[in-house]
Structure 1
Amino acid sequence: MVCFCFLVDQRHMLMSSKPAAGTCLRCRSGASVGLMKTVTRFCYVPIYWKSWKAIICTFCGAVLKSYR
């Protein structure tokens, strides 16, 4: 018997943020330091998550720099 399990999705969520000095290079808006969380789910069951910090744009949401 063979059972296949496929990767369903991987999501990046913003848990908290604080204002930071600097601007976004794409839209010239403000930046903030955020605590990010990555959740990987296999067959709709979350099996792995990782927290990391990133500098993100407050307007367009682009990740300018990540600290993994």
Structure 2
Amino acid sequence: MVCFCFLVDQKRMVRRSKPVAGSCSRCGHGAKVAEMYTSTRFCYIPFYTKSWKAIVCSFCGVILKYYT
């Protein structure tokens, strides 16, 4: 009998952010441009990292638009 157990998780983190003119379409609060990165780990060892930019609401945290 063979049993496979995979532990994979993915984290999104903000490196830097700065305010931008405009507001969130959901809650109406201010937005910010954030340089983000996504880290995918397998058994606590990171094996894939991607950097990207996004416009994020500063109050509710929703991603309004992203750029690769």
TM-score (norm 2): 0.89
CA distance in 2, matches of 1:7, 1:21: 40
Q: Aligned ranges for residues 32-47 of structure 1 at < 5 Å?
A: 32-47=32-47
User: Which runs of no fewer than 5 residues in structure 1 stay unpaired?
Assistant: none
**Distance change >3 Å, CA 5–CA 42, structure 1 → 2:** farther
TM-score (norm 1): 0.89
How many residues get paired? 67
The residue aligned with 2:49 is 49
Q: Secondary structure, in 3 states, of the residue corresponding to 2:27?
A: coil
User: Which runs of no fewer than 5 residues in structure 2 stay unpaired?
Assistant: none
Contact 1:5-1:42 within 8 A present in 2 as well: no
Q: Aligned ranges for residues 1-68 of structure 1 at < 5 Å?
A: 4=4, 6-68=6-68
**Distance change >3 Å, CA 45–CA 5, structure 1 → 2:** farther
Q: Secondary structure, in 3 states, of the residue corresponding to 2:21?
A: strand
